[in-house]
Amino acid sequence: MMGTAAAAAAAAAASSCDRDDTRKKQITVVLLLIRTLLLACIIARRVVALIRLVCRVAVLAPARSLLGVAGVVFSAVNARCLWCLDQQALGRSCTGTFCGDLVVAAMANSWRLLVQGLTSLVFLCAHAAGEYVRPPPSPLVLTAHNKPASHPQQVHISIVREKNMRISWVTDDRTAPSVVEYGTSPGKYTASATGDHTTYRYFFYKSGAIHHATIGPLDLSTTYYYRCGKAGDEFTLRTPPARLPVEFVVIGDLGQTEWTASTLSHIGGGGDYDMLLLPGDLSYADTQQPLWDTFGRLVQPLASARPWMVTEGNHEIETLPVVEFAPFVAYNARWRMPHEESGSPSNLYYSFDAAGGAAHVVMLGSYTDYGEGSEQRAWLERDLAGVDRRRTPWLVALLHAPWYNTNEAHQGEGERMRRAMESLLYEARVDVVFAGHVHAYERFTRIYDNEADSRGPMYITIGDGGNREGLALKFIKGHKSAHLSDFREASFGHGRLRIVNETSAVWTWHRNDDQFTTVRDEVWLRSLAAVEPARTVSAVAGGGRPADEL
């Protein structure tokens, strides 16, 4: 009996202790919440006071001085918050106390969300100003990565020289090796190449390791099997042909929407090709850096199998007022093109040969200096002077902002560049110039200086890959260049330039008709190096499709 009573007394005492401990924990939590609330009120009062001060200064101080002060304040606050977030990620204390770390982490993350939201708002407002009304946007297609951190993702390839290929990929593991193993049989790698990797930071985003490795020399017109970083899946690629014929797929303003997915499926199912050319506006990340990752994963099935040669558009710039991030940070890190091999000082413009030198492709930069005395103009003069048209019968150029355009969208935005560079392309007898930017398809006759000219390039706008902004639906009927426009339509799709031989090539535009791809426009071209071109009478091909020869 006495033992039972003692046990009951002990249990009651223990229960009382537990209740006391629970009350103490509850009181501690309540006190912590009260202190946090008080700290938040103090911070809010100081922020309000700072805003009042800034408003008063704004009335008195010049705008330039105010921007300078804002830039200094932003840099100081941003650097401190970045440091706090880095310490948190490493499991280190910022203040030496648990409560202090909790409050600081909450403030740093609030700053991160605020900056990201304001960044998106400013960027989208700046790009929407003065724009025409577009149709409702298509939902984004966000491709996830659910494999180990060391496994490669966002794999894409580009040509470096005639027999070399650059393999680019990303790993979440920043210590993964920058090695590519490859061979001509599945799973049997007879050669390997070691490259390098880089990372970049944009606000609070830090990229994974972005790897680049150059393999070769490779046999042309040959299928290779390769693996990146000694981990993950095996990929296949086919090298371009050593001679004509050669076929280019051309798409612009691609993005990552359901429209994009439709275009990519039509390219994959529309017959074989040798290389893809993209005249700017790739991911439409627009400062939201994770969208570069999802874009890379979306295009990987095609971009890992055939070379993707790209140039920049306005959506690759990603700069903002006050903050002044260096432009093209993400683009230059992720999409390294063969600019050094072509003698260019910048990744924003370069050139390369295809089909054993039978075609020379020039990728120009619409958003870097191109005027008299600029590095780009000097490089272009040297590059075109080095082309021997007896050996290279085909000369193709790509840029982003079109020089000729009858659509309401982006009127006149390429005019300054046209005045600065059109004569160089004309004198070099460039055969065709592709552009994007305007979200529609339009094909012009051969032109020079706003007049039909049989010695000038054919101009084609193909900014209809599937971007999130939608189509540019309205063309101007009375536009001064309307009589030079042979075909125009506001639909999504892609184009194919097949260079058949030294004198003839065929261009087709494939419209996305739901699950089908429809050849809506077709024209044959004669090389300006081979024969003096003469405009023939247009004939109508089957299905109401124009079939011209220029």
Distance (Å, whole) CA 350 – CA 364: 7
Q: Which residues contact 98 (CB under 8 A, 6 or more apart)?
A: none
479 counts as catalytic: no
* Cβ atoms of residues 428 and 396 within 8 Å: no
Q: What is the CA radius of gyration of the chain?
A: 29
Task: Give whole-number Cα distances, 500 to 239, 243, 246, 525, 533, in Å.
Answer: 18, 10, 7, 10, 17
Q: Would you mind telling me the total number of residues written for the chain in this entry?
A: 550
**Neighbouring-strand partners of residue 171:** 209
Q: Which residues contact 88 (CB under 8 A, 6 or more apart)?
A: 94, 101, 105, 108
Pairing of strands 235-238, 246-250: unpaired
> Would you tell me the crossing angle of helices 98-128 and 63-89 to the nearest 10 degrees?
130
* Cα angle, residue 219 at apex, residues 305 and 391 outer, rounded to 5°: 100
Q: Number of C-alpha atoms within 13 angstroms, CB side, residue 407? A: 35
Where does residue 1 rank: exposed (0-12), middle (13-18), buried (19+ CB within 10 A)? exposed
Where does residue 144 rank: exposed (0-12), middle (13-18), buried (19+ CB within 10 A)? exposed
Q: Which of 266, 410, 437, 494 is catalytic?
A: 410
b/e sequence 234-271, b meaning 16+ C-beta within 10 Å:
ebebbbbbbebebbbbbbbbbbbbebbebbbebbeebe
Where does residue 87 rank: exposed (0-12), middle (13-18), buried (19+ CB within 10 A)? middle
* Cβ atoms of residues 448 and 498 within 8 Å: no
Which stretches does DSSP call E strand in 268-332? Answer: 275-279, 308-311
Catalytic residues: 410
